[in-house]
Amino acid sequence: MARVLKGDDALELCERMIEAHCEPSVHTYNMLMVMFFEMGEAHRALDIWLEMDTRGCQRAIDTYEIMIDGLFDRGRTEHATALLDEVINRDMKLSYKKFDARMLRLSAVGDLGAIYRLSEHMRRFYNVAMSRRFAITQKKKSIGLRRK
């Protein structure tokens, strides 16, 4: 119950900001999304995502990364992968520090196409060896499994 109140209190504060003509920033929305994902309330994080559109708040790469990781954490792999594709199509630079974790998640569901797309995308921003090593390892594992 305390968690729900925490979320409701945060939304109420956000509404009071808007009423006072103090538009929430992308950082405010990001913090709300993180909080809702930590509370296990992905639907409320998605509501914040949509509210950003309604309020005309441009999403930053951090916003996408919060949503992608939150969706992965909640088992919504298809939605997370769709957002990864959006980031790739928009040529946005993802952070390097979560690259391996995202690749492992894609590997766990066997999405070799997404692994390849993400690897190639990251190669444009970072060391080629870094972005290829995981994709090659996963390809070898996949081929090895098919032979058995």
The ranges assigned to domains in the chain are 7-146
Instruction: List the alpha helices (DSSP H) in the chain.
Output: 2-19, 26-38, 42-55, 61-73, 77-89, 99-108, 112-123, 128-147
Its pTM stands at 0.76
Pairwise pLDDT comparison (132 vs 126), residue with the higher score: 126
The per-residue pLDDT for range 29-45, each reduced to its tens digit, is: 999 899 899 989 899 89
> Maximum distance among all alpha carbons in the chain?
65
Statement: residue 142 has pLDDT above 80:
no
Contacts of 32 (CB under 8 A, 6+ apart): 10, 11, 14, 45, 48
- Residue 82 and residue 111: Cα distance in Å, rounded? 12
pLDDT of residue 123: 85
